[in-house]
Amino acid sequence: EAVLMGRALAERGLKPDLALVSTAVRTRQTWEQMHDALGDVEVRDEANLYNASADVIRRFVEAGEDEAGCLLVLAHNPGVHVLAAEYLIESAASPAVVDKLSGGFPTGAAALFTVDAAGRCAYEGFLTPRSLGAPSL
């Protein structure tokens, strides 16, 4: 699934300049599976992303905005799911989009957002391994 997600992101032109990766074994393994599809990426292992709250992950995102045109954060639920939901609400996403994410944030999923010069997020998409054709386990 990680290889599939890496390819899907690359096919959409989303090749991060910087990847912030939790130091958990599983996230490190996920990154190892994804990185070939994404090319040359600066990677920072971040112990504070391990089981981080949405507020902590948000601080990492905000700090990374000035460093990278495209930032990838590889962290854990529930923090990632909560932050994605907060970004949807802040960007006044449609109820249909909010409903889509309210169903959960499966392992290996990616929420895609752009950030404007004022720091406002806009929803760009939500990818799951299943939506990309991975078999259900």
Query: To the nearest whole percent, how much of the chain has pLDDT over 90?
Result: 61
How far, in Å, CA of 90 to CA of 1, rounded? Answer: 30
Partners of residue 21 on adjacent β-strands: 45, 74
Q: How far is CA 57 from CA 40, 47, 52, 61, in A?
A: 23, 12, 6, 6
Tokens of 7: 């390819």
pLDDT band at 137 (very low <50, low <70, confident <90, very high): low
Q: Is the pLDDT of residue 92 over 70?
A: yes
- Identify the residue with better confidence: 110 or 99: 110
- Domains annotated for the chain, with CATH where assigned, are 2-127 (3.40.50.1240)
Give the model's pLDDT for residue 134. Answer: 72
Query: To the nearest whole percent, how much of the chain has pLDDT over 70?
Result: 99
Residue 43 DSSP code = E
Give the model's pLDDT for residue 83. Answer: 94
How far, in Å, CA of 120 to CA of 64, rounded? Answer: 14
The highest-confidence range among 58-67, 73-82, 89-98, by mean pLDDT, is: 73-82
106 and 129 in contact (C-beta within 8 Å)? Answer: yes
Give the model's pLDDT for residue 102. Answer: 80
pLDDT tens for each residue of 25-66: 999 999 999 999 998 899 999 999 999 999 999 999 999 888
**Predicted structure pTM score:** 0.90
The phi and psi torsions of 37 (rounded to 5 degrees) equal: -70, -20
Give the model's pLDDT for residue 8. Answer: 94
